[in-house]
């Protein structure tokens, strides 16, 4: 069972990251692309980690 859906994440604006000039290099693997000076976060990875966190808390 999904805790949240891709649509819900998109509608909430979860995919918007920091401005490209203000970023943490440790987040590079989670960045999907850059658009208009803002990093876009990879929501597929976000969903995966949300599900993993949910399963951990549920146990």
In the chain, where the domains are located? 6-58
Write down the pLDDT at residue 24: 87
pLDDT band at 1 (very low <50, low <70, confident <90, very high): low
Chain segment 6-49, per-residue pLDDT in tens? 899 889 888 888 888 888 899 899 999 999 999 999 999 999 99
| Strand ordering across the sheet containing 38-41 | 16-19, 38-41, 31-35
Write down the pLDDT at residue 35: 93
- How far apart CA 10 and CA 43 sit, in angstroms, is 8
């Amino acid at each position: 069972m999904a805790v949240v859906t891709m649509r819900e994440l998109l509608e909430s604006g979860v995919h918007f990251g920091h401005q490209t000039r203000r970023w943490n290099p440790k987040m590079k693997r989670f960045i999907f692309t850059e658009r208009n000076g803002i990093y876009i976060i990879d929501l597929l990875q976000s969903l995966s980690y949300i599900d993993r966190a949910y399963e951990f808390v549920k146990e």
